[in-house]
Amino acid sequence: MKVLIIEDEKELATSISDYLKTENYLCEFAETFSSAMEKIQSYEYDCILLDLMLPGGDGLKILEKLTRQNKQDGVIIISAKDSVDDKIRGLQLGADDYLPKPFHLSELSARIYSVVRRKQFGNSNTISFNELQVDFLGKEVKVDGKSVPLTKKEFELLQFLIGNKSRVISKIALAEHLSGDMADVLDNSYFVYAHIKNLKKKLAEAGCRDNIKTIYGVGYKFQP
């Protein structure tokens, strides 16, 4: 899968690329407005990460061009300017998601995963890991064909873990993902721990093997 990272901050771009590489994403970089324009003209990407503030031009112009050419690339805007206007304009111009900086790579990866899945498997967005079957569209989880009832939070959690398959996700990133704008709250680790525990318990009871590993008390990892 091909990802284009349009971002002038080299260090951030390489981190993103390194993180995504593990899951067989092939990343290309564009650091300026003109090189980004060139690349989207000549190639197709599964997902484009677009920073709005670029040397040489406004990132939204790139988005306009993509829409004009009717390209099917998924676009996630990554911006240091957490502005509602930009977000609305970006989404109106055809971006699939908007992620303000600073973000966790796991959050980004989960979003790329869901954008790509949506684009590629629009109608039957289902994935299987051995006996575990997840339907992203129907928000349903099955183990050996039997449905496992999960709460909304537990499903979100599982989706996030799958979007970061084989990589360690920090507890903090999980907490921020689950509580959204309200991550400022108290001690979130217990909150995350409780949800993970419930999810693991439900899957284990349904006969699923333990795919969710705890890493050094720092985070979790989905390793089917």
- Which tokens go with 102? 């600073």
Q: Residues 92 to 131: which contact another protein by CB under 8 A?
A: 100-106
- The residue (of 192 and 208) whose beta carbon lies closer to another protein is 192
In whole angstroms, the minimum distance from the beta carbon of 70 to another protein comes to 31
Name the 3-class secondary structure at 172: helix
Q: How many residues sit close enough to another protein to count as binding (CB under 8 A)?
A: 44
In whole angstroms, the minimum distance from the beta carbon of 184 to another protein comes to 6
> Given the rule CB under 8 A, which of 42-50, 66-74, 114-122, 180-188 is the region that contacts another protein?
180-188
- Which tokens go with 74? 């998924």
Residue 119's Cβ-side half-sphere holds a number of Cα atoms within 13 Å equal to 21
The 8-class DSSP code of residue 189 comes to H
- The residue (of 36 and 208) whose beta carbon lies closer to another protein is 36
**Distance in angstroms (rounded) separating the CA atoms of residues 143 and 140:** 10
- The residue (of 60 and 168) whose beta carbon lies closer to another protein is 168
CB 4 within 8 A of CB 48: yes
Q: Which residues make beta-bridge pairs with 51?
A: 78
> Where are the alpha helices (H) located in 93-187, listed in sequence order?
105-120, 152-163, 171-179
**Distance in angstroms (rounded) separating the CA atoms of residues 168 and 188:** 18
> Given the rule CB under 8 A, which of 34-42, 119-127, 199-207, 209-217 is the region that contacts another protein?
209-217
- Per CB under 8 A, the list member of 42, 124, 145, 186 interacting with another protein is 186
179 binding another protein? (CB under 8 A): yes
- What x-and-dash track marks residues 73-92 binding another protein by CB under 8 A? -------xxxxx--------
210 binding another protein? (CB under 8 A): no
CB 158 within 8 A of CB 149: no
- Which tokens go with 180? 């959204």
Binding-site ranges for another protein (CB under 8 A): 9, 11-12, 15-16, 18-19, 22, 80-84, 100-106, 167-168, 170-173, 176, 179, 181-188, 190-191, 194, 215-219
